[in-house]
Amino acid sequence: DGGITQSPKYLFRKEGQNVTLSCEQNLNHDAMYWYRQDPGQGLRLIYYSQIVNDFQKGDIAEGYSVSREKKESFPLTVTSAQKNPTAFYLCASSSGQADQPQHFGDGTRLSIL
Amino acid sequence: EDQVTQSPEALRLQEGESSSLNCSYTVSGLRGLFWYRQDPGKGPEFLFTLYSAGEEKEKERLKATLTKKESFLHITAPKPEDSATYLCAVRYTGANSKLTFGKGITLSVRP
């Protein structure tokens, strides 16, 4: 089945530690996205990539980093510079065409130890 | 600033009691309005895309409509399994493929 796989489902971070969230898609989509979801707030865009080896900052990129070395993969690193990392992180992909929807994975919940 | 506002924040219905969820937007140059359903602990599931005022889409008990300033998601004779958070997102001209999301409406349907 085609889809988006995020791992792990739950992740715990210690103070001063960087952690990496995985996102893989087999939909042959060009564009991929990372969102953060907090209770009572809408999805906020962290980073997005329209094509391999290129990515742009979203609305809340500070404290996060990404890479896009392969079309299928778009990992997100939450660095120690992100002071409030506890949230539900969602990865999405789309064909990149403006009239096409984004499709989402089932998220990673990150908590601080 | 382009904004998307959903109302009400939460809605409780009795099974079979029809109602509507609202999504209003202030973006100019709408390229598409998207409705998603999100279950607890899961990612959003795509429901509909609407592109122009007057357009309507239907799927089972759900019907989405669009005007120049807002969209409605009508739920006819809801069942408990329709309980979820419904998200609205807008793509506007010049945003590439980026979406602006509302905060969502949490729907609870009692049997």
**Span A55-79, pLDDT tens digits:** 999 999 999 999 999 999 999 999 9
| Dist CA B97 CA A88 (whole Å) | 22
The reply to whether residue B97 touches residue A100, judged by beta carbons under 8 angstroms, is: yes
CB-nearest partner of B97 from A41, A98, A103: A98
pLDDT at A85: 92
Structure tokens at A53: 């080896």
Percent of chain A with pLDDT over 70: 98
Tokens representing residue B45 in the block: 């599931």
Mutate to test the interface with B, among A29, A104, A111 (most CBs of B within 10 A): A104
Length of chain A: 113
In Å, how far from its chain's centre is CA A27? 16
**Distance between CA atoms of residues A35 and A43, nearest Å:** 6
Q: Which residues of B touch A96 (CB under 8 A)?
A: 96-97
pLDDT above 70: residue B95 = no
DSSP of B18-60:
-EEEEEEE--SSEEEEEEEEE-TTS--EEEEEE-STT-EEEET
pLDDT of residue B2: 62
- A32 alpha-carbon distance from chain centroid: 8
Interchain CB contact of A39 with B (< 8 Å): no
Query: How many beta-carbon contacts under 8 Å exist across A and B?
Result: 64
Cβ pair A6, A23 in contact under 8 A: yes
Residue scoring higher pLDDT (B26 or A27): A27
Find, among B106, B104, B82, B107, the residue nearest to B6 by Cα: B104
* Token couple for B96: 């590439």
Which residue shows structure tokens 């969102």? A35
**pLDDT tens digit sequence for B75-85:** 999 999 999 99
**By percentage, how much of chain B surpasses pLDDT 70?**
95
| Cα pseudo-dihedral B32, B33, B37, B38, rounded to 10 | 80
B91 Cβ contact list (under 8 Å, min separation 6): A98, B30, B31, B32, B33, B34, B97, B98, B99, B100
- For B31, the closest of A45, A92, A99 (CB atoms) is A99
